[in-house]
Each structure stands twice: as structure tokens, then as C-alpha cells.
Amino acid sequence: MHLSAALGPLLALLAGALSILAFAPFDIAPLILLGPAVLFGVLPNHISPRRAAWIGWAFGCGFFGAGVSWVWVSIHVYGGASFLLATLATLLFVMTLALLFAAQAWLYQRLFHPATARWLGFIAIWMGFEWLRSWFLTGFPWLLLGYAWLDTPFSPLAAVLGVWGLSLLTLCLAIGLYHAVRQRSPGALLLALGLPLISLLLPDTWTDERPDSQLKVALVQPNISQHDKWDGRLLSDILQQMIDLSEPYQQDHDLIIWPETAIPSLYYQAAPYTEPFFNQLDSYKTTLISGFPFMTRDSQQPEIPRFHNSLGIFSYGSGVYHKRRLVPFGEYVPLENQLRGLIEFFDLPMSEFSLPEHTELSLDVQGRTLAPLICYEIAYPELTRTSARQADMLLTVSNDAWFDDSLAAEQHLQIARMRALENGRWLLRGTNDGITALVAPDGGLVERLSRETAGVLSVDVPAMQGQTPYQTLGIWPVWLFSLALLIVARWPRAR
């Protein structure tokens, strides 16, 4: 019996799980080559597409099971589900995501079963499914292969081709080296080494600081428990804590940032506690930006209120941004009529948000333009790129307290750092319980606050000008290269 028939699924499962060690907080970057190489190796020419799908699904279960099982925390600890029910829900989530790898392996085997250049097809199909995962059913662009190379000499490629280019580098290196060794192919070796060598020759930065454009910013991290945050009886205490942390910075800072839903109520409910402080900030010409729930009326059905997860300017300026990518089950509930009330998890606070009909795409702060992104939105490369093109700096706010001390916060910060690198902009990251941080235009982590502590990060942030090649071109160069690989891989069969 062939190795792939006996051990293929098990090897794929283990390779998928071990690949997670390449991402934050472990950062063993070379391990990212393991997953694609092993999966390619256990999908030989002779097996059926159905068998390939089973092996691909096993890989996906290992990959997502090790990489995103932190959703268990939000379901069990904050969603009120029992240990068993939370475990079953997490397994269902992981196994459903793994179906994408099953479909990827099935399509690869279906299209390239007799092809001699099938290794090129493997690369092209993988890239297509990474892109598909970034938007299908609102998207889950987490753990894209390219994130693993953030703190390596290959990272400058992200400013040219985005995280997509680093994913392509991963696949060319892993599959090219595998094929070069197995088939003694100089062409495969050339493809494997091409992108890594190019990336080593690229400049570190494509953008410049605007003269005299620095903002002095205070990022407030309150570390408020999720069990307390949405308790209306504690509203005044929560807001007073935010004010107490901010007051030492009100006179000598240009901007104070509160994190996602730092105001945990509609604003009219919070106004009696915050207005005196906000008026004081106005007198000092200090801008304050905070996350908060925003209520509007549906244009088609005015009697129905709509709620948005928003980011607004509350002093010395004006502007509101509404979140454009909502987290399924966390911010809205699919099949709401059937699932509401079934278990406590489907009735979480913040789970009634809607997508906006219109929103501002930037916030103006004293002559500087900030591209705002709320929590999960920073994971979308193209969404961030379009917002950042006309912005001087990036701002993302989040509340990762839903996931306690799991891998989620470090992975989330790694993703945010990649967005700074892709767009050549300083990135401000304000969070409830960590990781609040300042990220440089090259993706470097300049300063950060510790997890699960209350504090304020005071930083000077320059506005940037110019654009990276990725900001100008987006994903198209990677798409065209992948399409070329697909054509070459199919050509021998067509001939």
C-alpha cells in the first residue's frame, strides 16, 4: 500500500498543526515550509480527487485546530456554553474551515491528475484558495502563509506584493525545493530561489515622513473584564476609569485613543459622565477618539433601529467610522431567527450589529488623516489597502479580551504589523487588555504594553507620504503570476 494511502491523512494532520509554530508567538518561520511540502508530497498523481479531498481536510483540521481553536474561550468563558458544548462548537468551526483545504486538494487532483507540471498547479490553486478565504462568506483571512516571514530578511517583499507575495514565496520555496530534489529540476530550483533573492534586494521603505507632521498620542489600555464591560450598573465606573487614565495626558498630547467599544453604551447614556471631560479636552485642543455603539435608522424601514460598531471623534474635531466587516456570531448572528435564544452564546453583547449603508473611510485629526479599522478588519489586506492609500497613518482598535491569554492576541498583532509594512505607514493599535502597540512602517514593533494590565502608551507618530507598490497595484501581480503558473501546469495535458 502506498504511503499516502496508509499515512497520508495523518501526516497531513500533523504537518498542518506543526505549521502554526511558524506564526506568532512562536515565530519559527522556516516551519511554514513544512505544511505545503508535506501536503504536496502526500497527494501523488495516482490517487483519486475524493481521496485527495480527505487528505486536504485532515491538513485543514490540523492547521485550524492548532491555529484558531482559541474561539473555544469566547464560547465557553464568555458565551456561557458548557465545556462539552463549547468543545463541540469549536470542533465544528475547525472542521468547517478545513473544508476549504478539502476543496483545494480535490480541485488540484481533479485538474492536474495526469499533468507533468502539477507542482506549478499546486502553487496556483493554493494561492487561489488563500484569496477565496479572504472574502468567501465574509472571509476569514487569518493565518495566511505569508505572515510567518514578518521578522525575516524576506519581509520587504510585502511592500511590493503584500502578504500574498510572501505566501507565494512560501509556496515557491517549499514546493520548488521539494520538486527540485525529487526530480532534479533546475527550473524548480530557479523558481524556488527567485522570490527570496528578489526580496533580499528590495529597499526597506518606500514612503517618507511628512515634515513637521508628528502627533503626540496616548493609547489607553483599561484592561476591563469582559464580565463587567457590558454590565450597565458599572457604566459610570468604567467611564471614570477611562477618564482617570487619560487625564495626565490631556494637556501635552494631540490625540488620546480609547479602544473598541470603550464607551460600552449608546452615547446619550454615557454623556452625563463623559461630557465634562470631553469639554475640557476641547479647551486644550486635544482630540479624543473612542470606540462606541452607534444607532441609526434603516432607510427602508425607519421604525427599525440599526446598531453599528463605530469609532468616533469626541473632542476637538468630528467624524465617525462604522465597521465594514463584522465577525459572525460575535457581532451578528447568521440565521438569527433560528439561533437566538438557543444557547447563551448566541445572545452575546455586541451580537446585534449591522453593516453600514455609508461610512467615512478616514478620520481627520488636526490636519493628519487616519485610516480607521476596527478589530477583525485589520486582517483584510485589500480593505486596509484601499483605506490607507489616502491616509497618513493607520489606526486600529480592538478588544481581544474575548480570548483571554490565548494565541489570538499575538496572532492579531502580527497581522496588524503586516498591514503597516504593506502600506508603509505607522500603525497605532489601541486595545482593551492588550496588545496596545506602536508599529513602524517597516512592520517593526516599536513599543507595546503588556497583556492584561491597565496603562497608557505615549508615543510620537509621524505622518507619512508616498505609496508602496502594493498600495498602487494590490493583489494583481500575484494573481497574474499564479495564473501564468496555472496555464503552464495545464499546458502539457492540453497538448
Provide the annotated active-site residues.
260, 323, 375
Nine-digit cell string for 495: 497538448
CA distance linking residue 59 with residue 103, whole number of Å: 12
Look at residue 458 and give its three-state secondary structure: strand
Burial grade of 352 (CB within 10 A; 0-12, 13-18, 19 or more): middle
The string of DSSP letters for 359-417 reads --S-EEETTEEEEEEEGGGGG-HHHHHHHHTT-SEEEEEE-GGGGTTSSHHHHHHHHHH
Q: What is the dihedral of CA 394, 397, 402, 403, to 10 degrees?
A: 30
Nine-digit cell string for 8: 497520508
CA distance linking residue 495 with residue 492, whole number of Å: 5
Bridge-based pairing state of the strands 464-465 and 208-209: antiparallel
- AA letter at 478: V
CA distance linking residue 374 with residue 330, whole number of Å: 13
In this structure, the number of other CB atoms found within 10 A of the CB of residue 495 comes to: 5
Nine-digit cell string for 417: 504589523
Closest CA to 310 of 256, 272, 276, 266: 266
Closest CA to 395 of 344, 326, 319, 304: 319
Residue 231, CA distances (Å) to 146, 263, 265, 313, 402 in order: 40, 12, 10, 24, 15
Residue 256 forms beta bridges with which residues? 218, 288
CA distance linking residue 142 with residue 160, whole number of Å: 20
Closest CA to 56 of 32, 40, 34: 40
